Structure 1
Amino acid sequence: MNALPSTARPLPKQRLIPLTIMPFVVIVVVMVILALAAPWVAPVDPNTQNLLARLKAPGTVSRGVTYLLGSDELGRDVLSRLIHGARVSLLVAFSSVILSGTIGSILGMIAALYRGWVEVLIMRVVDIVLSVPAILFAIITVAVLGPGLVNVVIVLALTRWPRYARVAYGQTLSVANMPYVRLSRFMGAGWFRLLGRHVLPNIAGALVVVATLEFGLMVLFEAGLSFLGLGVQPPTASWGAMLSTGRNYVATAWWIATFPGLALFLLVLSINLIGDYVRDRLDPKAR
């Protein structure tokens, strides 16, 4: 007797990246590629001045140079400065996320494993830093250390590490009570082995989610500091510095501030949406 044909249909394959997120992934990838290849992609040197071509509208041609996105108050190509500004923003954001994530994660795991006075000391410092507005703390620190690319990275790392420490602390507390972790400690495993072999792999997902969401915030912080003149110093191209200059020419040369603002908006929006997607993918309750 033949078996009845099955009416069950196979479940559709889930896309690695859904179509709703794909455009934002493309935006981030394109900006990263442009930032890495800025010296070869930019039409001209971003610091080359041409006072005869100052404040030219997009599409203007002057002395054989086509200003696709216009020129600024010194006759510099806005498109070239926009591309090189992406390099600064992404470099600062990536470096500060790596540095703050490393410091905060290590301190959070140490506080959860050592307990006692070490836990109290680290977590009280976390509470103190979090009680101060982040942008105010960053401005004060930059004013003390001085502006510059390296100092901006250090300042942003010192400002945002407590968030990683909080997440690592909470996640490590739950992992530390697992039988295999207690067995490893009973067998004489050192703290370095416990952190690297047993704790970190189990809390890495939560830290990746925090890092993804923090990346867009670091881009905004860098732009804000450069806008105030406390970030990357001229003549280095920066989106925040371009916005600061463009505010004086909004009525006569709208393109100076519009294009950096649009690039900043698209990058931060794309990163935040990708961060939300990563959070949902790594959340077992969502799955």
Structure 2
Amino acid sequence: MTRALQSLRMVFFPADGKGIPVGVFVIIVAFMVLVAGLAPLLAPVDPNTQNLMGRLKPPGTVARGTLFVLGSDELGRDLLSRLMYGARVSLSVAFLSVLLSGLVGTVLGMVAGYKRGWVETVIMRVVDIFLSIPAILLAIITVAVLGPGFVNVILVLALTRWPRYARVAYGQTLSVANMPYVRLSTAMGASWVRILALHIFPNIIAALSVVATLEFGLMVLFEAGLSFLGLGVQPPTASWGAMLSVGRNYVSNAWWIATFPGICLFLLVLSVNLIGDRLSDYLNPKSR
């Protein structure tokens, strides 16, 4: 346990002291996850409670006994509470879509890289077809067909991003499949499912973890983009993208509605991307 903690400290808090330690961004992400998980306990008021006498109040204003720490929106709803609940939506959609797309893409990529032949041809040509279509365009079209909603957004994002994992898993499997221990397991009669699960997957999980980290930030942006267009989680559920969409109409007289969700999105995506870059450098011996 102590050795694992020391390894994590070396990865995210390097001793060279150059620049901002990536661990700072790990703390930012952890803080957002904590706030999202404890939103029902931390939120000052219900995020959907309207206070028409407190519409478009700037940060620090008190209206009808409610303190709007970060201001209120066009319906008098507390912006801080909606930011907390919006974090739950963004993080949940990103995590579940990364998990689902990673599972599907990894399995198909490993099967294609190990089985080869017609299986490889079919899977990788399907991957090429999906990669030839702009991801956001495919997501918009699919959501328009299936309809908006929390579950549908997760399915759509997983559908558009699984080829990325399939590509990485395929390439990594090709490099591992010819290793002596894999050939020995095959000669001893081990099934291909057992070989993939016990011998190949543990050796490619590092590369897949980097992809998943970078994809997480992208999923946050995709969810916000779909919500911004009205194709994501539907009102009155709080969502950072939907808050940005509303806030653009009030930039001149209520800048806080769009500014604070934008800052949260910026910090989350920046932090996740920097963490992914640091993991990539650490797990790639050639970059050390």
Calculate the TM-score normalised by the size of structure 2: 0.94
With over 3 angstroms needed to count, the CA separation of the structure-2 counterparts of 1:76 and 1:107, relative to structure 1, is same
Measured against aligned partners, the alpha-carbon deviations of 1:232-268 in whole angstroms (never above 9, x if no partner) come to 0000000000000000000010000000001000100
With over 3 angstroms needed to count, the CA separation of the structure-2 counterparts of 1:16 and 1:85, relative to structure 1, is closer
The residue number in structure 2 matching 1:197 is 198
Q: Residues 104-143 of structure 1 correspond to what in structure 2 (within 5 A)?
A: 104-143=105-144
Aligned length: 275
The residue number in structure 2 matching 1:52 is 53
Measured against aligned partners, the alpha-carbon deviations of 1:157-211 in whole angstroms (never above 9, x if no partner) come to 0000000000000000010010110111111100111011100000000000000
Distance 2:11 2:168 in 1: 29
3-state SS of paired residue (2:45): coil
The residue number in structure 1 matching 2:68 is 67
3-state SS of paired residue (1:124): helix
Contact 2:11 2:282 in 1 (8 A): no
Q: Residues 1-287 of structure 1 correspond to what in structure 2 (within 5 A)?
A: 14=10, 17-18=13-14, 20-287=21-288
Distance 1:256 1:171 in 2: 45
Distance 2:192 2:37 in 1: 39
1:28, distance to aligned residue in structure 2 (A): 0.5
Distance 2:273 2:114 in 1: 32
One-letter amino acid of the structure 2 residue matched with residue 204 of structure 1: I
Distance 1:281 1:64 in 2: 52
Measured against aligned partners, the alpha-carbon deviations of 1:83-130 in whole angstroms (never above 9, x if no partner) come to 100000000000000000000000000001111111000000000000
In structure 1, the gaps of 5 or more residues are: 1-12
1:24, distance to aligned residue in structure 2 (A): 1.0
Distance 2:179 2:26 in 1: 37
In structure 2, the gaps of 5 or more residues are: 1-8, 15-19
Measured against aligned partners, the alpha-carbon deviations of 1:124-172 in whole angstroms (never above 9, x if no partner) come to 0000000000000000000111100000000000000000000000000
Structure with larger Rg: 1
Distance 1:191 1:98 in 2: 23
3-state SS of paired residue (1:285): helix
Contact 2:55 2:72 in 1 (8 A): yes
One-letter amino acid of the structure 2 residue matched with residue 144 of structure 1: V
Distance 1:208 1:83 in 2: 27
1:14, distance to aligned residue in structure 2 (A): 4.3
Distance 2:282 2:87 in 1: 28
- Judging by fraction of residues, say which structure has more helix: 2
Distance 2:201 2:267 in 1: 33
What stretches of structure 1 move > 3 A for 4+ residues in a row? 13-16
Distance 1:216 1:56 in 2: 31
3-state SS of paired residue (1:73): coil
The residue number in structure 2 matching 1:9 is none
With over 3 angstroms needed to count, the CA separation of the structure-2 counterparts of 1:223 and 1:179, relative to structure 1, is same
Distance 1:15 1:150 in 2: 35
